[in-house]
Copies of this chain bind each other. A is one copy, B any other.
């Protein structure tokens, strides 16, 4: 029955109107995801944790699909943030590519259930602008890594849609994007051949470095 002490002047007053219910539900959802995983993730439990009745979420998110869409968008925001942070720390191009791969993989390992939802087209509503924008921001970050590898000018998020410079290097984007995502997903779902954990990062470095060189050289030779 505890309430968030943020919005109203009365901090812990039990009032009919929650005030920040939408945000509280999202936070409850993310916490639940971490603690109980996807199978323990229910709308009713989120409502319980936010201290409201079981039907309260409906007004803010419609149905469970709408709720998951917001959760996924938040995941892409966080992933974008992590990518930017790591990329900023890198000093060379090779290092940047490795840092990107590492950040992506580590996000998937640190927030496995969150990551799974982000890449479940059947659970999300594709019409959501909120989600589309968050995804595009992540994609822009990854694309710019490739563009820098090739010594070409970066793009801004708004230019991504059907941008010509992107189409021109689509092959390279695909190589980088598939590499990074495939690795993260396979590790997450434990589908990899038996690699000792301590060798994993070394392998990540070797593979990333070779792919980075391939991308730097472009299609030629």
Q: Which residues of A contact B (CB under 8 A)?
A: 37-39, 112-113, 116, 119-122, 126, 135, 139, 143, 160-162, 166, 170-171, 173-175, 177-183, 185-186, 188-195, 203, 206-207, 210-211, 214, 219
- From known contacts A179-B182, A182-B183, infer whether A122 and B207 are also in contact, taking CB-CB under 8 Å: no
The reply to whether B191 and A160 contact each other, CB–CB distance below 8 Å, is: no
Question: Which residues of chain B are within 8 angstroms of A193 by Cβ–Cβ distance?
Answer: 139, 143, 160, 166, 170, 173
Distance of A203 Cα from B46 Cα, bound (Å): 43
The reply to whether B219 and A121 contact each other, CB–CB distance below 8 Å, is: no
Distance of A178 Cα from B38 Cα, bound (Å): 25
Main secondary structure of the interface of A (DSSP, over half): helix
Question: Which residues of chain B are within 8 angstroms of A112 by Cβ–Cβ distance?
Answer: 122
Q: Lowest 4 A-B CB distances belong to which pairs?
A: A182-B182, A178-B182, A181-B182, A121-B189
Distance of A160 Cα from B192 Cα, bound (Å): 12
User: Could you say how many copies of this chain the assembly holds?
Assistant: 2
Extra A-B contacts (14), CB below 8 Å, given A116-B122, A179-B182, A180-B182: A38-B122, A113-B122, A119-B185, A119-B191, A121-B190, A139-B193, A143-B193, A170-B193, A171-B210, A174-B203, A175-B207, A178-B179, A178-B207, A210-B214
Distance of A38 Cα from B179 Cα, bound (Å): 27
